[in-house]
Amino acid sequence: MNLQIRRDVIKVAALLGAFIWVMDGVLDYLFFMEGSLLGLTFTNIPPHELYIRIFWFSGLLVIGIFASRLIDDREKALADKEELESLLRAVRNVNQLLVREEDEEKLIQRACEELIEARGYEHVWVALLDESRNLTAAAQEGVGEEFEELLERIEAGRSPACIKEPLADSKVFTVKDPSSTCKDCPLSESYKDH
């Protein structure tokens, strides 16, 4: 959540607590107790009234903090939902391509384009290898000239970690920081700001 919104929610709760504090002092002055308005509100508050006001003020402050966290959680959930929806849209679009497109190279090129369009990626690339791990087809969208160097390395058997690791192990391989994980990859420079 925007930090300013979180602060505003807490400020509103604190202001409401301060308002109740002052109104309780005014009501005490007008209807229930003897003394000056300033004294009953701020300087000469009876112990029981002080306890009640502190309780209300701190309670409203806690409610404000809790509400700001709820708003934060809701915004995160909405962002996660949008992320999941865009992922599902991309999967649907690529699945439709799998059914319609028969040409392997056109298929992976369109898949790259769909992923950029549906997910908002800056660049996407796909390399298909046969059972002997020889490059059979490749496509990219938004990568640029470095992609050709990557393909040359793959064909020479010098694949970067993002290709070696998944081939060595059937588990999902995720690269969180490509600029440091894939230093030997010609594309690593393009990942520095991501």
Residue ranges of the domains in the chain?
Answer: 3-83, 126-191
Indicate left, alpha or beta for 152 from its phi (over 0: left) and psi (-120 to 50: alpha): alpha
- Render pLDDT for 78-114 as a digit per residue (tens, 0 to 9): 999 998 998 898 889 999 999 998 999 999 999 999 8
* Nearest to 154, CA basis, from 135, 141, 130, 173: 135
Measured CA to CA, the distance from residue 69 to residue 62 in angstroms comes to 11
pLDDT bracket for residue 193 (50, 70, 90)? low
Measured CA to CA, the distance from residue 123 to residue 115 in angstroms comes to 9
Measured CA to CA, the distance from residue 137 to residue 155 in angstroms comes to 11
pLDDT given at position 182: 75
Mean pLDDT of the chain: 88
pLDDT at 1 over 60: no
Q: pTM higher than 0.85 for the full model?
A: no
* CB-CB contact of 60 with 85 (8 Å): no
